[in-house]
Chains A and B, each alone.
Chain A
Amino acid sequence: MRRWGLLLLVGPVLAFVTAILFYPLATMVYRSFVDPSLGFGNYERVFGHEVYARVIWNTLEVSAIVTVVCLLLGYPLAYAAANRGPRLRLVLLASVMMPFWTSLLVRTYAWMVVLGAGGPAMSLFHYLGIEAAPQLLYNRFGAVIGMVYVMLPYMVLSIFAVMSEINPNYQRAARSLGAGPLRAFLHVYLPQSYAGVTGGVLLVFIVSIGFFVTPALLGGRKEVFIAQLIQINIQEVVAWGFASALAVVLLILTMALLFVYDRLLGAESVFSAGDLRGRS
């Protein structure tokens, strides 16, 4: 009887997940092998042409840059929010969360205005007397700026969740035991905030790999992401089989990264993004 009760409770979720996740996924994998003809043709194309390898590499490289920039900006921000008084915390977290309340598309177009010709960034260069103003849009710089802007909240919140659970007495204890502020931070605080860092890095990197809108609009023709390639093949070329193969490659890449990360840092850090196991 109890087993039936359990099935009744879990059943709807299982059916839902099967219908909207596993079935399409299976169809996608199936398609990548049969469309347009049975065999490995689509995969041969993905790995056989240098241009596709370049897109994959570009996706990984830009995502890695975005992740590092998010970490460098996000860690101090989360630290200040977690350790410098309730008022500052409110201001910092609110300003980080604000972009969440606006459409991704609107935010991306906003960056096009800010960075584009005649925008404030260009006016600043002009004002400073810099004649050969660098190109800010439709290149890697534009893509990274836009993506960091979108991904920063994930990094900050992931680190903040762990940091806010670190008792201030740990750093005090380190200070009382003879560690200066820097050494107290490096020896005691940093290791304890590590779970938040690994979680945030993973989250940002994996979401970045699948990015579409922002690199498409800000990155220009040279900074093509896998997701763009998939979109082109579905909507313009109508090569669903090839698009499916690309999607499968993206999926396997993500899972491989998860696996490596897990091996390097332990399952705990992978599956505790934002979880509070960082404390003792």
Chain B
Amino acid sequence: MSVPATHDLSLRDLTKVYDPHAGEPAVSEVSLDVAKGEFVSLLGPSGSGKTTILMMIAGFEDPTSGDIFVDGSSIVGVPPHRRNIGVVFQNYALFPKMTVAQNIGFPLRMRKRDHATIRNTVARLLDLIHLPSYQDRYPHQLSGGQQQRVALARALAFDPSLLLLDEPMGALDRKLREQLQLEVKHIQRSLGVTTVYVTHDQEEAMVLSDRVAIMDKGRVQQIGTPEQVYNRPANRFVAQFLGAANLLAAKVIVSNQNGGTGRALLAGVDVPFTAERPMPQGASVELFLRPECVQLGREDAAPLCGVVETAMFVGESTRLQVRVDTDTVINVTSPNRTGSSEYAAGERVSVSWDAGRAVALADESG
């Protein structure tokens, strides 16, 4: 506890096949490096393989192929109780017949620490999770949030080399979740423990993580900081999984440099875009555009114009659908700075965006 646990984790081509006759593997050639003290989330829909990865790191599942390294040495084949990895489970798995203190002290008892050490560590952890006088309660006497914190304390009690969390807030309501996210983040920072966090909640992943790995169909689709994956998705899945996105069919007319801007034809109008890799001239692409990145203006203020089809006032913003072409509708989120919606249904408006906010993705629809 006193010395921050700092270890790093590497996954190399990690693959898990449950049933060789079933189509795709549960986890397919996943490679991932987590730096010492880093907080990385595995984010994806259910069945994307994220929990399987966690179970393989913890040692409850054996990889079909590939390797897992902690501090440069492989842990594949090491039984779970010798891996020294803290795990917080979905629904916490607090031992129902043990008190809070016995639960938190359990890993220390298994390591044959003396009573004084166990007592002190438990007391310190109870302070850390703000439950100082709860040592004699039983799990069923705690609220969901309190159980979650006790489970976290128990997973940290033995200075684990890694901390793994499997959807630890899935059962909690939204308010409590937001509060606990801050607490988890604070505790993780203060201990500096390398952490892998599994969730299907994108907001949770972005709030907590240094980096997010987006998973789908057993593969990592993209890994990067929350800003990178949100603003510059690598493909259509990532674009649509994280928040709302416009994906607009367009044709490249001026190719771009690596990471630079180019120009494309959208609804017959010349518009700017950016992309990680150069898009060849004439290529069919999909322009990815967040609704909140679109600027509306009075008619003819920009080359691309359209008609507002619907305008929904939702409080801090108004959600509009602007038809710029017979088969192109752009979703727009416009902040209500003046307190009311500036544009009404039926109005003709111009549509524009900063070149850097429209990312051209290779067209996967055809």
List residues of A whose CB falls within 8 A of some B CB.
Answer: 167, 169-170, 172-180, 183-184, 187-188, 191-192, 279-280
Min CB–CB distance B131 → chain A (angstroms): 18
Q: Are A280 and B59 in contact (CB under 8 A)?
A: no
Given A172-B80, A191-B97, residue A177 in contact with residue B89 (CB < 8 A): no
Q: Are A178 and B111 in contact (CB under 8 A)?
A: yes
Report if B139 contacts A (CB, 8 A).
yes
A177 to B84, CA, bound (A): 7
B87 contact set on A, CB distance < 8 A: 172-173, 176
Enumerate 25 A-B pairs (CB-CB under 8 Å) in ascending A order. Answer: A167-B91, A169-B93, A172-B58, A172-B60, A172-B89, A173-B89, A173-B95, A175-B59, A175-B80, A176-B59, A176-B81, A176-B86, A176-B155, A177-B81, A177-B106, A177-B155, A178-B107, A178-B110, A178-B158, A183-B110, A184-B81, A191-B95, A280-B94, A280-B139, A280-B140
A176 to B158, CA, bound (A): 11
Min CB–CB distance B162 → chain A (angstroms): 10
B80 contact set on A, CB distance < 8 A: 172, 175-176
Looking at chain A's contact residues, the main secondary structure is helix
Q: Are A177 and B140 in contact (CB under 8 A)?
A: no
**CB within 8 A of B90: which of A169, A170, A174, A178?**
A169
Chain B 73-111 near chain A by CB (<8 Å), digits 1 or 0: 000000111011111011101111100000000110011
List residues of B whose CB falls within 8 A of some A CB.
Answer: 58-60, 79-81, 83-87, 89-91, 93-97, 106-107, 110-111, 139-140, 154-155, 158
Q: Are B97 and A176 in contact (CB under 8 A)?
A: no
A179 contact set on B, CB distance < 8 A: 81, 106, 110
Q: Are B93 and A172 in contact (CB under 8 A)?
A: yes
Min CB–CB distance A177 → chain B (angstroms): 4
Min CB–CB distance A220 → chain B (angstroms): 45
A280 contact set on B, CB distance < 8 A: 94, 96, 139-140
A187 to B140, CA, bound (A): 18
B86 contact set on A, CB distance < 8 A: 176-177
A169 contact set on B, CB distance < 8 A: 89-91, 93
A90 to B106, CA, bound (A): 35
Q: Are A175 and B97 in contact (CB under 8 A)?
A: no
A178 contact set on B, CB distance < 8 A: 81, 84, 107, 110-111, 158
Q: Are B93 and A279 in contact (CB under 8 A)?
A: no
